[in-house]
Amino acid sequence: MSTQLCQTQSRPAACPLSTMPDPALCLEALSALSGCNVESTGGPSQLSPQDFVNIVALKEFYKQEGFKELEYPSLGTLSLQDEDDADLYSAPPALTEGPGPGESLRATVKINPQDFFHREYDYDFTNIKDGDKTFLRGNEQYVRPCGWNRAALRVVQKYDDGDCWLGTGKDAWPVSYHGYNMDGSHGIILTHGGCPNDEPQFLDAAAASLTTRETRGRGVYSTPDIKMAEKYCKRFKSKVDGKMYKVVLQNRINPAKRTKCQRADIWLVYIPEGRTDIQVRVIVQEAIRPYGLLLKQE
C-alpha cells in the first residue's frame, strides 16, 4: 500500500502523447549519452535505465582518472573517447553512415521502448514557465526542467526499497541533473572541509583542497540546476528529423551519499581512492537513480 502511495505522489499528470519525443529520437539521445549504438528491439531490453546512468557517470569518472576504456557487465569494453569532441554539432557516426575507423569499441545495445520508457509519466515542459513558484523533493528545492521535453523512464517498482525515493515527501530523494561533461576541471570541486562557522579555518581548508587530490572532489558530479546542466550537456544531430538536440538525464540523488560542494549548484558523489571497478559501480548505483530523459531542440 505504501509503495503505491509513493508512486502516485511521484509524478505529475502526463501531457498528451502527441507532444512527446519520437521513441526513435529517444534512442538516438541514449546513443549520444552512452557512446553506444542503441537500437530498438521487440525483445527485452539489454540494459535498464539504471545501467545507462551508471555508464554515463562511470565514463566521465574514469575519463577524469586518465583511463581510455571502461569494462561494463554484458557490454564488455567501452571506449571513453568522445567521438565528436572535435565537432559537437556532428551526429554520432553510428547514427549516420555507420561505424568508421577506430570505432570497434562502440558497443551495440538493444532497447525495447515498451519496457524501458514509461509513457504514462512523460511530461512536456517546453512551454512552461514556473516564475516564482517553488517545488520541493525530499524537502529540497526542485528546479523543474522548464523548456525541456521529458521522456519518463520505467523505474517504478524496480528497486528493493520501494518507490518513496521517487515521491514528493520528506523521504523522497532530491532531484539532480547530469550534464555529461561536468567534472573537477570546471572549478566546481571545492568541498566544505572544516567547520563552516569558523571562516579562517574554512578558507584554509578550501585553499588546501586546491593541492590535495583527495579533497579535490574525486567522483561523479551532478547539479540541482537544469541551467547549469545545460551548459555541460551532450548535443547531437538527429537522423529522425535532421535537427540539433541537447540531452540531459534527470535523476534522484541519495542525500546520504551526496556531498555539497562550495558552489551550491554542484553536488558530488565522492569515490574514495583504492576502490575496485565493482565497488565504484555500487557507489554510483546506491547514490544516483534516473527517472527522466530530457530533450531540448536547439
* Number of domain units in the chain: 1
Q: What is the mean pLDDT of the chain?
A: 80
Helix (H, G, I), strand (E, B) or coil at 19: helix
More confident call, 7 vs 230:
230
Q: How far is it, in rounded angstroms, from Cα 142 to Cα 168?
A: 10
Tens of pLDDT, residues 162-200: 999 999 988 999 999 997 777 655 444 444 443 344 444
Q: What is the pLDDT of residue 87?
A: 36
Q: How far is it, in rounded angstroms, from Cα 7 to Cα 3?
A: 6
Q: Tell me which residue of 170, 100, 163 sits closest to 138, measured CA to CA.
A: 170
pLDDT at 53 over 90: yes
Q: What DSSP string runs through 69-107?
A: EEEETTTEEEE---TTSS-TTSPPGGGTT---TT-TT--
| Confidence at 83, pLDDT banded by 50, 70, 90 | low
Q: What is the pLDDT of residue 179?
A: 72
Tens of pLDDT, residues 88-109: 333 343 443 444 444 445 789 9
Q: Are 23 and 243 in contact (CB under 8 A)?
A: no
In terms of phi and psi (left: phi > 0; alpha: psi -120 to 50; beta: otherwise), the region of 138 is: left
Strand partners, 140: 137
Q: How far is it, in rounded angstroms, from Cα 147 to Cα 166?
A: 22
Helix (H, G, I), strand (E, B) or coil at 260: strand
| Confidence at 116, pLDDT banded by 50, 70, 90 | very high
pLDDT at 48 over 60: yes
pTM of the full structure: 0.81
SS3 content of the chain, % helix, strand, coil (to 5): 30, 25, 45
Q: Is the sign of the CA dihedral 285, 287, 290, 295 positive or negative?
A: negative
Strand partners, 261: 191
Note down the domain range covering 208. 2-297
Alpha helix segments (H runs only) across 140-276: 199-209, 226-231
Q: Are 226 and 148 in contact (CB under 8 A)?
A: yes
